[in-house]
Structure 1
Amino acid sequence: MTTTRLHWTDLPASVHRAVAARLGTPVLAAQTVSAGFNSEIAAKLSTARGAVFVKGMQLSHPRVWTQRREREVNPYVEGLAPTVLWHLDVDGWSLVAFEHVEARHADYREAGDLELVVEALGRLGRVPCPPIELRRAEQRWAAYVDDPEVLSRFGGGCLLHTDLNNENVLIRESHALLVDWAWATRGAPWIDPALWVVWLIAAGGHGPAAAEAWAARVPAWQTGDPTVVDVFAQAQARMWVEIAGEEPDPWTARLNRAAQRWARFRGHR
Protein backbone atom coordinates (compact mmCIF):
# COMPACT_ATOMS: atom_id res chain seq x y z
CA MET A 1 0.00 0.00 0.00
CA THR A 2 1.48 3.33 -1.06
CA THR A 3 0.74 6.66 0.59
CA THR A 4 -0.35 9.82 -1.24
CA ARG A 5 2.43 12.42 -1.18
CA LEU A 6 1.37 15.86 0.01
CA HIS A 7 3.28 19.14 -0.13
CA TRP A 8 4.56 21.26 2.73
CA THR A 9 2.02 23.94 1.85
CA ASP A 10 -0.79 21.42 2.42
CA LEU A 11 -0.03 21.30 6.15
CA PRO A 12 -1.90 23.53 8.62
CA ALA A 13 -0.36 26.88 9.55
CA SER A 14 -0.13 25.64 13.14
CA VAL A 15 2.25 22.88 11.99
CA HIS A 16 4.35 25.40 10.08
CA ARG A 17 4.62 27.55 13.19
CA ALA A 18 5.58 24.62 15.40
CA VAL A 19 8.30 23.51 13.00
CA ALA A 20 9.71 27.03 12.71
CA ALA A 21 9.78 27.24 16.50
CA ARG A 22 11.59 23.90 16.73
CA LEU A 23 14.08 24.98 14.08
CA GLY A 24 14.53 28.35 15.77
CA THR A 25 14.27 30.07 12.40
CA PRO A 26 11.66 30.46 9.64
CA VAL A 27 11.40 28.01 6.76
CA LEU A 28 12.43 29.94 3.66
CA ALA A 29 11.65 27.25 1.08
CA ALA A 30 10.24 23.74 0.98
CA GLN A 31 11.00 21.22 -1.74
CA THR A 32 8.87 18.08 -1.93
CA VAL A 33 10.89 14.87 -2.35
CA SER A 34 9.16 12.45 -4.69
CA ALA A 35 11.12 9.29 -3.81
CA GLY A 36 9.68 6.82 -1.34
CA PHE A 37 6.21 5.50 -0.65
CA ASN A 38 5.76 5.44 3.11
CA SER A 39 5.30 9.09 4.09
CA GLU A 40 2.60 11.64 3.38
CA ILE A 41 5.13 14.45 3.75
CA ALA A 42 8.75 14.24 2.60
CA ALA A 43 10.41 17.61 2.12
CA LYS A 44 13.70 19.44 2.22
CA LEU A 45 13.19 22.54 4.34
CA SER A 46 15.65 25.35 3.75
CA THR A 47 16.37 27.95 6.41
CA ALA A 48 18.96 30.65 7.02
CA ARG A 49 20.83 28.09 9.15
CA GLY A 50 20.85 25.35 6.53
CA ALA A 51 18.50 22.57 5.48
CA VAL A 52 16.76 19.64 7.16
CA PHE A 53 14.78 16.75 5.73
CA VAL A 54 11.36 16.21 7.27
CA LYS A 55 9.08 13.19 6.95
CA GLY A 56 5.53 13.21 8.24
CA MET A 57 2.25 11.36 8.51
CA GLN A 58 -1.10 12.15 10.05
CA LEU A 59 -1.50 10.66 13.51
CA SER A 60 -4.65 8.94 12.23
CA HIS A 61 -2.76 7.15 9.44
CA PRO A 62 -2.71 3.35 9.93
CA ARG A 63 1.05 3.27 9.40
CA VAL A 64 2.00 6.21 11.60
CA TRP A 65 3.87 3.68 13.74
CA THR A 66 6.59 3.75 11.05
CA GLN A 67 7.52 7.24 12.20
CA ARG A 68 8.28 5.92 15.67
CA ARG A 69 10.15 2.94 14.24
CA GLU A 70 12.53 5.21 12.34
CA ARG A 71 13.20 7.28 15.46
CA GLU A 72 13.87 4.23 17.59
CA VAL A 73 16.18 2.52 15.11
CA ASN A 74 18.22 5.61 14.30
CA PRO A 75 20.59 5.69 17.31
CA TYR A 76 21.69 2.14 16.50
CA VAL A 77 22.60 2.80 12.86
CA GLU A 78 24.86 5.81 13.35
CA GLY A 79 26.99 6.27 10.26
CA LEU A 80 24.69 4.03 8.22
CA ALA A 81 21.76 6.44 8.08
CA PRO A 82 21.17 10.20 8.33
CA THR A 83 20.81 11.32 11.94
CA VAL A 84 17.39 12.05 13.42
CA LEU A 85 17.44 15.60 14.78
CA TRP A 86 14.04 15.86 16.43
CA HIS A 87 10.39 14.88 16.19
CA LEU A 88 7.07 16.63 16.80
CA ASP A 89 3.50 15.48 17.24
CA VAL A 90 1.42 18.58 16.54
CA ASP A 91 -2.13 19.31 15.37
CA GLY A 92 -2.77 15.77 14.14
CA TRP A 93 0.63 15.29 12.50
CA SER A 94 3.72 13.25 13.36
CA LEU A 95 6.92 14.78 11.96
CA VAL A 96 10.51 13.52 12.09
CA ALA A 97 13.45 15.73 11.06
CA PHE A 98 16.71 14.28 9.76
CA GLU A 99 20.02 15.87 8.88
CA HIS A 100 19.87 16.84 5.23
CA VAL A 101 22.32 14.85 3.12
CA GLU A 102 23.60 16.04 -0.25
CA ALA A 103 23.64 12.74 -2.07
CA ARG A 104 22.19 10.82 -5.00
CA HIS A 105 20.27 7.58 -5.23
CA ALA A 106 22.30 4.45 -5.85
CA ASP A 107 22.41 3.13 -9.41
CA TYR A 108 22.16 -0.64 -9.17
CA ARG A 109 23.61 -0.99 -12.67
CA GLU A 110 26.90 0.65 -11.65
CA ALA A 111 29.59 -1.55 -10.10
CA GLY A 112 31.02 1.32 -8.07
CA ASP A 113 27.70 1.92 -6.35
CA LEU A 114 27.22 -1.80 -5.75
CA GLU A 115 30.60 -1.98 -4.03
CA LEU A 116 29.44 0.72 -1.62
CA VAL A 117 26.17 -1.10 -0.93
CA VAL A 118 28.10 -4.30 -0.20
CA GLU A 119 30.18 -2.35 2.31
CA ALA A 120 27.09 -0.81 3.92
CA LEU A 121 25.30 -4.15 4.23
CA GLY A 122 28.45 -5.64 5.68
CA ARG A 123 28.52 -2.92 8.33
CA LEU A 124 24.83 -3.42 9.05
CA GLY A 125 25.48 -7.11 9.56
CA ARG A 126 27.78 -6.22 12.45
CA VAL A 127 25.21 -4.01 14.22
CA PRO A 128 23.68 -5.72 17.27
CA CYS A 129 19.92 -5.92 17.02
CA PRO A 130 18.54 -3.16 19.26
CA PRO A 131 16.21 -3.93 22.19
CA ILE A 132 13.22 -2.22 20.58
CA GLU A 133 9.95 -3.47 19.14
CA LEU A 134 10.58 -4.81 15.64
CA ARG A 135 8.71 -7.02 13.23
CA ARG A 136 10.05 -10.57 12.97
CA ALA A 137 11.03 -12.11 9.66
CA GLU A 138 9.29 -15.41 10.39
CA GLN A 139 6.04 -13.48 10.96
CA ARG A 140 6.36 -11.13 7.99
CA TRP A 141 6.60 -13.91 5.42
CA ALA A 142 4.51 -16.58 7.17
CA ALA A 143 1.66 -16.31 4.65
CA TYR A 144 3.97 -17.30 1.80
CA VAL A 145 5.69 -20.36 3.28
CA ASP A 146 4.06 -23.76 3.69
CA ASP A 147 6.60 -25.47 5.95
CA PRO A 148 6.65 -24.02 9.51
CA GLU A 149 10.05 -25.56 10.23
CA VAL A 150 11.69 -23.86 7.26
CA LEU A 151 9.85 -20.62 8.07
CA SER A 152 11.32 -20.68 11.59
CA ARG A 153 14.77 -20.46 10.02
CA PHE A 154 13.95 -17.00 8.69
CA GLY A 155 14.14 -15.94 12.33
CA GLY A 156 17.24 -14.63 14.02
CA GLY A 157 18.76 -11.88 16.08
CA CYS A 158 19.99 -9.51 13.38
CA LEU A 159 18.77 -6.03 12.50
CA LEU A 160 17.51 -6.01 8.89
CA HIS A 161 16.53 -3.08 6.70
CA THR A 162 14.40 -5.16 4.26
CA ASP A 163 13.49 -2.34 1.84
CA LEU A 164 16.56 -2.05 -0.38
CA ASN A 165 14.91 -0.11 -3.17
CA ASN A 166 17.73 1.88 -4.77
CA GLU A 167 15.89 5.07 -3.75
CA ASN A 168 16.46 4.04 -0.14
CA VAL A 169 20.22 3.94 -0.72
CA LEU A 170 21.98 7.30 -0.89
CA ILE A 171 25.48 7.64 -2.28
CA ARG A 172 27.47 10.39 -0.58
CA GLU A 173 31.09 10.70 -1.62
CA SER A 174 32.66 7.31 -0.94
CA HIS A 175 29.97 5.55 1.08
CA ALA A 176 26.33 4.49 1.02
CA LEU A 177 23.64 5.50 3.51
CA LEU A 178 20.48 3.46 4.08
CA VAL A 179 17.32 5.52 4.54
CA ASP A 180 13.68 4.73 5.30
CA TRP A 181 13.88 2.20 8.12
CA ALA A 182 10.11 1.89 8.42
CA TRP A 183 10.24 -1.86 7.74
CA ALA A 184 13.20 -2.65 9.97
CA THR A 185 12.92 -6.29 11.03
CA ARG A 186 14.60 -8.80 13.34
CA GLY A 187 15.66 -11.93 11.49
CA ALA A 188 18.35 -14.13 9.98
CA PRO A 189 21.42 -12.25 8.71
CA TRP A 190 21.22 -13.53 5.11
CA ILE A 191 17.80 -11.97 4.49
CA ASP A 192 18.92 -8.46 3.52
CA PRO A 193 21.37 -9.65 0.83
CA ALA A 194 18.73 -12.11 -0.38
CA LEU A 195 16.16 -9.31 -0.73
CA TRP A 196 18.79 -7.22 -2.52
CA VAL A 197 18.93 -9.89 -5.24
CA VAL A 198 15.37 -9.07 -6.35
CA TRP A 199 16.15 -5.34 -6.54
CA LEU A 200 19.29 -5.98 -8.56
CA ILE A 201 17.41 -8.12 -11.08
CA ALA A 202 14.67 -5.49 -11.30
CA ALA A 203 17.23 -2.74 -11.96
CA GLY A 204 18.28 -4.40 -15.20
CA GLY A 205 21.69 -5.53 -16.29
CA HIS A 206 21.76 -8.44 -13.83
CA GLY A 207 20.43 -11.92 -14.28
CA PRO A 208 19.76 -13.99 -11.16
CA ALA A 209 23.25 -15.51 -11.14
CA ALA A 210 24.97 -12.14 -11.45
CA ALA A 211 22.69 -10.62 -8.79
CA GLU A 212 23.49 -13.47 -6.41
CA ALA A 213 27.19 -12.98 -7.09
CA TRP A 214 26.90 -9.44 -5.75
CA ALA A 215 24.85 -10.62 -2.76
CA ALA A 216 27.50 -13.24 -2.06
CA ARG A 217 30.03 -10.48 -1.45
CA VAL A 218 28.06 -9.54 1.69
CA PRO A 219 29.42 -11.81 4.46
CA ALA A 220 25.93 -12.50 5.84
CA TRP A 221 24.88 -14.21 2.61
CA GLN A 222 27.20 -17.11 3.43
CA THR A 223 25.20 -17.89 6.59
CA GLY A 224 22.11 -18.85 4.61
CA ASP A 225 21.31 -22.54 4.09
CA PRO A 226 20.73 -22.81 0.32
CA THR A 227 17.56 -24.89 0.81
CA VAL A 228 16.13 -22.21 3.12
CA VAL A 229 17.08 -19.45 0.67
CA ASP A 230 15.25 -21.46 -2.02
CA VAL A 231 12.08 -21.29 0.06
CA PHE A 232 12.65 -17.59 0.74
CA ALA A 233 12.90 -16.92 -3.01
CA GLN A 234 9.61 -18.73 -3.55
CA ALA A 235 8.06 -16.68 -0.74
CA GLN A 236 9.15 -13.46 -2.47
CA ALA A 237 7.61 -14.66 -5.72
CA ARG A 238 4.32 -15.42 -3.99
CA MET A 239 4.34 -12.09 -2.17
CA TRP A 240 4.95 -10.04 -5.32
CA VAL A 241 2.20 -11.87 -7.20
CA GLU A 242 -0.16 -10.84 -4.41
CA ILE A 243 1.10 -7.24 -4.39
CA ALA A 244 0.87 -6.98 -8.18
CA GLY A 245 -2.71 -8.16 -8.43
CA GLU A 246 -4.50 -8.16 -11.76
CA GLU A 247 -3.43 -4.75 -13.08
CA PRO A 248 -0.09 -3.76 -11.55
CA ASP A 249 1.56 -0.41 -12.19
CA PRO A 250 4.85 -0.61 -14.14
CA TRP A 251 7.00 -0.38 -11.00
CA THR A 252 5.20 -3.25 -9.27
CA ALA A 253 5.13 -5.33 -12.43
CA ARG A 254 8.90 -4.97 -12.76
CA LEU A 255 9.48 -6.16 -9.18
CA ASN A 256 7.09 -9.03 -9.70
CA ARG A 257 8.93 -10.17 -12.82
CA ALA A 258 12.25 -9.96 -10.98
CA ALA A 259 10.94 -12.04 -8.07
CA GLN A 260 9.59 -14.70 -10.45
CA ARG A 261 12.94 -14.87 -12.28
CA TRP A 262 14.82 -15.37 -9.05
CA ALA A 263 12.42 -18.04 -7.81
CA ARG A 264 12.72 -19.97 -11.10
CA PHE A 265 16.52 -19.70 -10.90
CA ARG A 266 16.58 -21.07 -7.36
CA GLY A 267 14.13 -23.79 -8.34
CA HIS A 268 16.51 -25.07 -11.02
CA ARG A 269 19.60 -24.75 -8.87
Structure 2
Amino acid sequence: MPAPSITFAALPSGARTAIEAEIGSILRVEDVSAGLNSSLSALAHTAGGVVFLKGLRSDHRWVWTQQREADINPYVTPLAPRLLFHVIAGGWDLLGFEAIDGHHADYSPGSPDLPKVTGALRELAALPCPGIELRLAEKRLAGYVADPADAEAFAGNALLHTDWNNHNVLITHDRAHLVDWGWATRGAAWLDPAHWIIWLIATGHAPSDAEESVALLPAWTLAPPRAVDAFAHASANLWEEIAGSASDDWTMNILNAARLWQQHRSHRP
Protein backbone atom coordinates (compact mmCIF):
# COMPACT_ATOMS: atom_id res chain seq x y z
CA MET A 1 0.00 0.00 0.00
CA PRO A 2 1.24 3.55 -0.70
CA ALA A 3 2.61 5.58 2.17
CA PRO A 4 -0.01 8.14 3.33
CA SER A 5 0.75 11.56 1.87
CA ILE A 6 1.34 14.81 3.74
CA THR A 7 1.93 18.39 2.63
CA PHE A 8 5.04 20.31 3.61
CA ALA A 9 2.94 22.74 5.67
CA ALA A 10 1.52 19.83 7.67
CA LEU A 11 4.95 18.63 8.81
CA PRO A 12 5.77 19.26 12.47
CA SER A 13 7.52 22.58 12.98
CA GLY A 14 10.67 20.77 14.15
CA ALA A 15 10.91 18.94 10.84
CA ARG A 16 10.40 22.13 8.79
CA THR A 17 13.00 23.98 10.89
CA ALA A 18 15.53 21.18 10.37
CA ILE A 19 15.03 21.34 6.60
CA GLU A 20 15.56 25.11 6.53
CA ALA A 21 18.71 24.68 8.62
CA GLU A 22 20.07 22.59 5.74
CA ILE A 23 18.96 24.60 2.70
CA GLY A 24 18.20 28.09 3.98
CA SER A 25 14.93 29.99 4.11
CA ILE A 26 12.23 28.49 1.95
CA LEU A 27 10.51 31.07 -0.24
CA ARG A 28 7.71 28.81 -1.44
CA VAL A 29 6.87 25.12 -1.65
CA GLU A 30 5.18 23.08 -4.36
CA ASP A 31 3.65 19.91 -2.99
CA VAL A 32 3.75 17.23 -5.65
CA SER A 33 2.15 13.82 -5.83
CA ALA A 34 3.94 11.55 -3.40
CA GLY A 35 5.28 8.28 -4.75
CA LEU A 36 4.32 4.88 -3.46
CA ASN A 37 7.35 4.80 -1.16
CA SER A 38 7.24 8.28 0.38
CA SER A 39 4.72 10.38 2.28
CA LEU A 40 6.27 13.79 1.70
CA SER A 41 7.08 14.85 -1.85
CA ALA A 42 7.69 18.54 -2.48
CA LEU A 43 9.80 21.11 -4.29
CA ALA A 44 11.26 23.76 -1.98
CA HIS A 45 12.27 27.02 -3.64
CA THR A 46 15.09 28.88 -1.91
CA ALA A 47 17.34 31.78 -2.84
CA GLY A 48 19.95 29.21 -3.86
CA GLY A 49 17.71 27.11 -6.09
CA VAL A 50 15.16 24.33 -5.93
CA VAL A 51 15.43 21.27 -3.67
CA PHE A 52 13.33 18.12 -3.97
CA LEU A 53 12.16 16.91 -0.57
CA LYS A 54 10.94 13.45 0.31
CA GLY A 55 10.25 11.87 3.65
CA LEU A 56 8.60 9.23 5.78
CA ARG A 57 7.60 9.17 9.42
CA SER A 58 10.44 7.76 11.52
CA ASP A 59 8.24 4.86 12.61
CA HIS A 60 7.05 3.91 9.11
CA ARG A 61 7.78 0.32 8.10
CA TRP A 62 9.62 1.49 4.98
CA VAL A 63 11.73 4.15 6.69
CA TRP A 64 14.84 2.03 6.08
CA THR A 65 14.55 2.96 2.39
CA GLN A 66 15.47 6.53 3.32
CA GLN A 67 18.82 5.40 4.73
CA ARG A 68 19.32 3.15 1.72
CA GLU A 69 18.90 6.13 -0.60
CA ALA A 70 21.34 8.19 1.45
CA ASP A 71 23.92 5.40 1.50
CA ILE A 72 23.79 4.65 -2.20
CA ASN A 73 23.67 8.21 -3.53
CA PRO A 74 27.45 8.83 -3.77
CA TYR A 75 27.75 5.75 -5.97
CA VAL A 76 24.99 6.57 -8.45
CA THR A 77 25.40 10.26 -9.25
CA PRO A 78 25.10 11.78 -11.85
CA LEU A 79 22.71 9.04 -12.99
CA ALA A 80 20.73 10.03 -9.90
CA PRO A 81 20.31 13.58 -8.56
CA ARG A 82 22.82 14.51 -5.84
CA LEU A 83 21.74 14.17 -2.22
CA LEU A 84 22.02 17.47 -0.34
CA PHE A 85 21.01 16.36 3.14
CA HIS A 86 19.52 13.61 5.27
CA VAL A 87 18.03 14.62 8.61
CA ILE A 88 15.75 13.06 11.20
CA ALA A 89 13.68 15.59 13.13
CA GLY A 90 10.18 16.04 14.50
CA GLY A 91 9.42 12.36 14.08
CA TRP A 92 10.28 12.45 10.37
CA ASP A 93 13.11 11.02 8.25
CA LEU A 94 13.84 13.55 5.51
CA LEU A 95 15.96 13.68 2.35
CA GLY A 96 16.76 16.65 0.14
CA PHE A 97 18.01 16.25 -3.44
CA GLU A 98 19.03 18.53 -6.25
CA ALA A 99 15.85 19.06 -8.24
CA ILE A 100 15.83 17.71 -11.80
CA ASP A 101 14.08 19.95 -14.33
CA GLY A 102 12.62 17.24 -16.50
CA HIS A 103 9.51 15.20 -17.23
CA HIS A 104 8.50 11.68 -16.30
CA ALA A 105 9.56 9.23 -18.98
CA ASP A 106 7.07 8.35 -21.69
CA TYR A 107 7.35 4.59 -22.31
CA SER A 108 4.74 4.40 -25.08
CA PRO A 109 5.68 2.90 -28.47
CA GLY A 110 7.66 5.33 -30.60
CA SER A 111 8.42 7.69 -27.69
CA PRO A 112 11.61 9.75 -28.12
CA ASP A 113 12.33 9.03 -24.45
CA LEU A 114 13.01 5.33 -25.04
CA PRO A 115 16.61 5.69 -26.29
CA LYS A 116 17.43 7.82 -23.25
CA VAL A 117 16.02 5.14 -20.94
CA THR A 118 18.12 2.46 -22.63
CA GLY A 119 21.07 4.81 -22.19
CA ALA A 120 20.35 4.93 -18.45
CA LEU A 121 20.20 1.13 -18.37
CA ARG A 122 23.62 0.98 -20.04
CA GLU A 123 25.02 3.56 -17.63
CA LEU A 124 23.68 1.71 -14.60
CA ALA A 125 25.06 -1.60 -15.85
CA ALA A 126 28.53 -0.03 -16.03
CA LEU A 127 28.49 1.09 -12.38
CA PRO A 128 30.21 -1.15 -9.83
CA CYS A 129 27.99 -2.47 -7.09
CA PRO A 130 29.02 -0.69 -3.87
CA GLY A 131 29.93 -2.65 -0.76
CA ILE A 132 26.97 -1.38 1.25
CA GLU A 133 24.01 -3.30 2.61
CA LEU A 134 21.65 -4.10 -0.26
CA ARG A 135 18.80 -6.52 -0.71
CA LEU A 136 19.56 -9.61 -2.77
CA ALA A 137 17.50 -10.32 -5.87
CA GLU A 138 17.38 -14.06 -5.27
CA LYS A 139 15.95 -13.51 -1.79
CA ARG A 140 13.49 -10.80 -2.82
CA LEU A 141 11.96 -13.10 -5.44
CA ALA A 142 12.36 -16.47 -3.72
CA GLY A 143 8.76 -16.60 -2.60
CA TYR A 144 7.37 -16.07 -6.11
CA VAL A 145 9.12 -18.67 -8.24
CA ALA A 146 7.67 -22.09 -9.10
CA ASP A 147 10.73 -23.91 -7.74
CA PRO A 148 12.93 -22.37 -5.00
CA ALA A 149 15.99 -23.36 -7.00
CA ASP A 150 14.84 -21.05 -9.82
CA ALA A 151 15.62 -18.01 -7.69
CA GLU A 152 19.33 -18.77 -7.74
CA ALA A 153 19.39 -17.63 -11.38
CA PHE A 154 18.68 -14.08 -10.11
CA ALA A 155 21.87 -13.91 -8.04
CA GLY A 156 24.76 -11.74 -9.19
CA ASN A 157 27.01 -8.83 -8.34
CA ALA A 158 25.35 -6.08 -10.40
CA LEU A 159 23.77 -2.97 -8.90
CA LEU A 160 20.06 -2.93 -9.74
CA HIS A 161 17.44 -0.21 -9.37
CA THR A 162 14.47 -2.63 -9.80
CA ASP A 163 11.64 -0.04 -9.82
CA TRP A 164 11.24 1.16 -13.41
CA ASN A 165 7.95 2.94 -12.83
CA ASN A 166 8.14 5.79 -15.34
CA HIS A 167 7.73 8.28 -12.47
CA ASN A 168 11.18 7.17 -11.28
CA VAL A 169 12.76 8.13 -14.61
CA LEU A 170 13.12 11.86 -15.29
CA ILE A 171 13.97 12.94 -18.82
CA THR A 172 15.98 16.09 -19.51
CA HIS A 173 17.18 17.44 -22.86
CA ASP A 174 20.16 15.11 -23.01
CA ARG A 175 19.58 12.09 -20.76
CA ALA A 176 17.47 10.09 -18.32
CA HIS A 177 17.93 10.33 -14.54
CA LEU A 178 16.87 7.63 -12.07
CA VAL A 179 15.29 8.59 -8.75
CA ASP A 180 13.89 6.63 -5.80
CA TRP A 181 16.71 4.18 -5.03
CA GLY A 182 15.23 2.84 -1.81
CA TRP A 183 14.80 -0.65 -3.29
CA ALA A 184 18.26 -0.88 -4.83
CA THR A 185 19.31 -4.51 -5.02
CA ARG A 186 22.31 -6.71 -5.79
CA GLY A 187 21.67 -9.35 -8.43
CA ALA A 188 22.06 -10.51 -12.03
CA ALA A 189 22.69 -7.62 -14.42
CA TRP A 190 19.88 -8.61 -16.81
CA LEU A 191 17.19 -8.12 -14.17
CA ASP A 192 16.78 -4.35 -14.65
CA PRO A 193 16.05 -4.72 -18.38
CA ALA A 194 13.62 -7.48 -17.41
CA HIS A 195 11.86 -5.21 -14.92
CA TRP A 196 11.57 -2.51 -17.60
CA ILE A 197 9.97 -4.94 -20.08
CA ILE A 198 6.89 -5.21 -17.86
CA TRP A 199 6.48 -1.43 -17.79
CA LEU A 200 6.87 -1.28 -21.57
CA ILE A 201 4.11 -3.85 -22.00
CA ALA A 202 1.93 -1.88 -19.57
CA THR A 203 2.26 1.18 -21.81
CA GLY A 204 1.24 -0.52 -25.03
CA HIS A 205 4.18 -2.56 -26.32
CA ALA A 206 3.63 -6.14 -27.44
CA PRO A 207 5.78 -8.51 -25.36
CA SER A 208 8.03 -9.33 -28.33
CA ASP A 209 8.50 -5.62 -29.09
CA ALA A 210 9.29 -4.90 -25.43
CA GLU A 211 11.98 -7.59 -25.49
CA GLU A 212 13.31 -6.13 -28.74
CA SER A 213 13.72 -2.76 -26.96
CA VAL A 214 16.35 -4.27 -24.64
CA ALA A 215 17.81 -6.77 -27.11
CA LEU A 216 21.01 -4.79 -27.73
CA LEU A 217 21.80 -4.14 -24.08
CA PRO A 218 24.91 -6.18 -23.17
CA ALA A 219 23.39 -7.26 -19.86
CA TRP A 220 20.32 -8.65 -21.61
CA THR A 221 22.32 -10.63 -24.16
CA LEU A 222 23.75 -12.65 -21.25
CA ALA A 223 20.35 -13.50 -19.78
CA PRO A 224 19.70 -17.29 -19.75
CA PRO A 225 16.29 -17.81 -21.42
CA ARG A 226 15.08 -20.19 -18.70
CA ALA A 227 16.04 -17.67 -16.03
CA VAL A 228 14.04 -14.99 -17.84
CA ASP A 229 11.09 -17.40 -17.96
CA ALA A 230 11.40 -17.86 -14.19
CA PHE A 231 11.54 -14.11 -13.64
CA ALA A 232 8.42 -13.52 -15.75
CA HIS A 233 6.62 -16.17 -13.68
CA ALA A 234 7.83 -14.64 -10.41
CA SER A 235 6.85 -11.13 -11.52
CA ALA A 236 3.30 -12.22 -12.33
CA ASN A 237 3.02 -13.82 -8.91
CA LEU A 238 4.45 -10.73 -7.22
CA TRP A 239 1.96 -8.40 -8.90
CA GLU A 240 -0.86 -10.85 -8.08
CA GLU A 241 0.06 -10.39 -4.42
CA ILE A 242 0.24 -6.61 -4.71
CA ALA A 243 -3.10 -6.48 -6.52
CA GLY A 244 -4.65 -8.54 -3.74
CA SER A 245 -4.24 -5.63 -1.35
CA ALA A 246 -4.48 -2.74 -3.83
CA SER A 247 -6.65 -3.68 -6.79
CA ASP A 248 -6.77 -0.19 -8.32
CA ASP A 249 -6.62 0.41 -12.08
CA TRP A 250 -2.91 1.29 -11.99
CA THR A 251 -1.94 -1.92 -10.19
CA MET A 252 -4.20 -4.07 -12.36
CA ASN A 253 -2.58 -2.61 -15.48
CA ILE A 254 0.87 -3.71 -14.30
CA LEU A 255 -0.47 -7.10 -13.23
CA ASN A 256 -2.02 -7.64 -16.66
CA ALA A 257 1.27 -6.67 -18.31
CA ALA A 258 3.18 -9.15 -16.14
CA ARG A 259 0.66 -11.87 -16.97
CA LEU A 260 0.91 -11.09 -20.68
CA TRP A 261 4.68 -11.37 -20.59
CA GLN A 262 4.50 -14.62 -18.64
CA GLN A 263 2.18 -16.04 -21.29
CA HIS A 264 4.53 -14.90 -24.02
CA ARG A 265 7.48 -16.58 -22.33
CA SER A 266 5.51 -19.79 -21.79
CA HIS A 267 5.03 -20.10 -25.57
CA ARG A 268 8.71 -19.58 -26.29
CA PRO A 269 10.13 -22.30 -28.59
Deviation at 1:150, TM superposition (A): 2.3
C-alpha distance in structure 1 between counterparts of 2:142 and 2:2, whole Å: 22
- The percent identity for this pair of structures is 48
C-alpha distance in structure 2 between counterparts of 1:267 and 1:207, whole Å: 15
Residue 227 of structure 2: aligned partner: 228
Q: Indicate conservation of the 8 Å contact 2:13/2:90, yes or no.
A: no
Indicate yes or no: 2:3 matched with 1:10: no
Deviation at 1:149, TM superposition (A): 2.9
Give the letter for the 1:8 counterpart. F
C-alpha distance in structure 1 between counterparts of 2:245 and 2:68, whole Å: 32
C-alpha distance in structure 2 between counterparts of 1:218 and 1:239, whole Å: 25
Which 10-residue stretch deviates more, 220-229 or 35-44? 35-44
C-alpha distance in structure 2 between counterparts of 1:222 and 1:167, whole Å: 27
Task: List per-residue Cα deviations over 1:185-242 (Å, max 9, x = no partner).
Answer: 00000000001000000012x1000000002132211111001101110111111111
Indicate yes or no: 2:130 matched with 1:130: yes
Q: Indicate conservation of the 8 Å contact 1:119/1:218, yes or no.
A: no
Give the letter for the 1:184 counterpart. A
C-alpha distance in structure 1 between counterparts of 2:14 and 2:223, whole Å: 50
Q: Indicate conservation of the 8 Å contact 1:134/1:185, yes or no.
A: yes
SS at match of 2:112: helix
Q: Gaps spanning 5+ residues in structure 2: where? A: none
Residue 160 of structure 2: aligned partner: 160
Q: Indicate conservation of the 8 Å contact 1:45/1:52, yes or no.
A: yes
Which 10-residue stretch deviates more, 218-227 or 256-265? 218-227
Residue 105 of structure 2: aligned partner: 106
Aligned Cα root-mean-square deviation (Å): 1.2
Residue 176 of structure 2: aligned partner: 176
SS at match of 1:28: strand
Which 10-residue stretch deviates more, 73-82 or 107-116? 107-116
Task: List per-residue Cα deviations over 1:120-169 (Å, max 9, x = no partner).
Answer: 10110011110000000000000111323321110000000000001100
Q: Indicate conservation of the 8 Å contact 2:104/2:170, yes or no.
A: yes
Assess, with a 3 A threshold, how the Cα gap between structure 1 residues 176 and 16 changes in structure 2: closer, same or farther.
same
Residue 258 of structure 2: aligned partner: 259
SS at match of 1:111: coil
SS at match of 1:79: coil
Which 10-residue stretch deviates more, 32-41 or 91-100? 32-41
C-alpha distance in structure 2 between counterparts of 1:63 and 1:212, whole Å: 32
SS at match of 2:118: helix
C-alpha distance in structure 1 between counterparts of 2:20 and 2:35, whole Å: 25
Q: Which runs of 4+ in 1 moved over 4 A?
A: none
TM-score, length basis structure 1: 0.96
C-alpha distance in structure 1 between counterparts of 2:130 and 2:202, whole Å: 31
Matched residues, number: 267
C-alpha distance in structure 2 between counterparts of 1:72 and 1:202, whole Å: 31
Residue 20 of structure 1: aligned partner: 20
SS at match of 2:154: coil
Give the letter for the 1:49 counterpart. G
Residue 119 of structure 1: aligned partner: 119
